[in-house]
Amino acid sequence: MTRNTRDDGKGGTAVAVLGLGPMGRALAAAFGAAGHRVTVWNRTPGKAAGLPVEVEVAGSIAGAVAAGTVVVACLAHREALEQVLAQAPDGWQGRTLVNLTSGPPDGARRLAGWAAGRGAAYLDGAVLTPTRTIGTPGATVLVSGPAEVFGAVRGTLAATGGAVLHLGAEVGLAGAHETALLDLFATSVHGLAHAFALAAAEGIAPGRFAPLAAGIGDLLAVLAADFAEQLAAGSFPGTRSTLAAARSGLTHALDASARHGLDTGVLAAARSGLDRALAAGHGAEGLARLAAVLAEPVARPADDGPGAERDAAGRAEGSGAVSR
């Protein structure tokens, strides 16, 4: 096959998409709709059926890599991607691997080294919007890595939709942003679910509660801007709300949840963070001070490293202390 390596967004770049889960399918469709020549690969055969664009289906990872000058990976997680790439250790010379698989920044740096050792350029990325937005103005994709590499594939990546944001040359930046945003999303979804559970326990209908809950989202947008400004300035005025008041309100929610027998683990953890702030004398300061407090490392016992909780649970289960 003669490869067209032009990348002005119009030249029909040869793109290989690894992984045909919902996001991988959306990406393959967007690249095809933009006029690029798309080859796809998936561990489970048959996933290309029903794609709205014409694609070539590779029978192996090596075949997909051989077919694409830009190889876009979108698998379930970084470990799965590394297992897949191990099946194609060669044939990467002159290609660009764009990894859109979710994962922390240290994994991105490891993959960048893997690619460099095989003569391939590397960009790490994160898709921030749902599959339905891909290929539309509503999509947002974060990318990090060398500026010259991004510049070479920018036209091709534009097929993904509205905003493809290059965060900088440090390859871990996209993963770092995504990980912090996942932190926000996961705790926000839990808070929303827990609030609906507490409302139900108090006899409030979901439809009546929902409009009021939606207003919290608007408040968070305002708080995000305030946090950024105050953290940059190192000043946390308590003119509108204080950490002491926040703790009081949180305690009401925690106590009410406990009375109804609801899980209070996350609320208790949130109050613990506020307790740290108050113990350090920040009770009269604004909410953004909490971010500065939480950024300070927490002292842990010597055996309380990653996996210690899981190991402790395993030991308890082995002794019969954990039942299902």
Per-position pLDDT tens, the chain of length 324: 223 334 444 458 999 999 999 999 999 999 999 999 999 999 998 999 999 999 999 999 999 999 999 999 999 999 999 999 999 999 999 999 999 999 999 999 999 999 999 999 999 999 999 999 999 999 999 999 999 999 999 999 999 999 999 999 999 999 999 999 999 999 999 999 999 999 999 999 999 999 999 999 999 999 999 999 999 999 999 999 999 999 999 999 999 999 999 999 999 999 999 999 999 999 999 999 999 999 999 876 665 554 444 343 333 333 333 222
Phi first, then psi: give them for residue 55, nearest 5 degrees: -135, 160
Parallel, antiparallel or unpaired: strands 121-127 and 136-144? antiparallel
Q: What is residue 298's predicted lDDT score, i.e. its pLDDT? A: 85
pTM, 2 dp: 0.85
∠ CA 309-83-170, rounded to 5°:
80
Q: What is residue 180's predicted lDDT score, i.e. its pLDDT? A: 97
Q: What number of CA atoms fall less than 13 Å from residue 73's CA on the CB side?
A: 28
Q: What is residue 303's predicted lDDT score, i.e. its pLDDT? A: 55
CA nearest neighbour of 53 among 31, 24, 74 = 31
Locate 302 and state its tokens.
């010597």
Q: What is residue 11's predicted lDDT score, i.e. its pLDDT? A: 56
Which residues lie closer than 8 Å to 102 by C-beta, 6 or more apart?
Answer: 77, 78, 126, 178, 182
∠ CA 100-106-107, rounded to 5°:
45
Q: What is residue 301's predicted lDDT score, i.e. its pLDDT? A: 62
Which residues lie closer than 8 Å to 10 by C-beta, 6 or more apart?
Answer: 35, 155
Q: What is residue 155's predicted lDDT score, i.e. its pLDDT? A: 96
Give the Cα separation of 135 and 208 in Å (integer).
35
DSSP string covering 112-174 = HHHHHTTT-EEEEEEE-S-GGGTTEEEEEEEEES-HHHHHHHHHHHGGGEEEEEE--SSTTHH
Q: What is the DSSP letter of 241?
A: -
H helix intervals, the chain: 22-33, 61-67, 78-85, 105-116, 147-157, 173-201, 206-233, 243-259, 265-279, 289-294, 308-318
∠ CA 6-10-12, rounded to 5°:
60
